[in-house]
Amino acid sequence: MRTDDETARKVLAESRTWAVVGASDDPWRSSYGVAELLIERGYDVVPVNPNHSRVLGLTCYPSLADVPRPVDVVDLFRRSELAGVHVDEAIAIGAKAVWTQLAVFPDPASLERARAAGLTVVLNRCPAQDLPRFFGAA
């Protein structure tokens, strides 16, 4: 299961503030590289991880509820069995979209709650792959 190109392209084109849930301060982790690329492409990145205070020089928040500004997209770098909780948090903070990274599949009920709340759901995609493909090299 993977979200279609048109939906992913629209989210990338129309959303500026991305909360990266599971952000890491380890340059070898995928979440670090994706957050770094989003920043390079001009997105406002908000790292979220209770185990870090800073990621890529940015304040890292312990939870989505702690983020002090509106978030457009909640990008999930979490194991599938834990992702549904963060989908519900995305709904609670009024995000516009939930984006799950490759091989991250939240429980179907949480995705239905997100859609019912008006969030766009992007499944099994990576913005680090889609940005260059849709919009060219930086």
55: in domain: yes
Is 68:44 a contact under the CB 8 Å cutoff?
no
For 61, the token pair is 């928040």
Number of domains in the chain: 1
Would you say the pTM of this structure is higher than 0.75? Answer: yes
Is 14 a member of any domain? yes
Kindly list the distances between the CA atom of residue 62 and the CA atoms of 2, 3, 65, 132, in Å, as whole numbers in the listed order. 29, 28, 8, 30
Domain annotation covers residue 58: yes
Domain at 33, CATH number: 3.40.50.720
What distance in Å separates the CA atoms of residue 78 and residue 47, rounded to the nearest whole number?
Answer: 13
Query: What's the pLDDT at 108?
Result: 96
Q: Is residue 138 part of a domain?
A: no
Q: What is the pLDDT of residues 64-91, one digit of tens each?
A: 999 999 999 999 999 999 999 999 999 9
Residue 51 falls inside a structural domain: yes
Domain that holds residue 10: 5-133
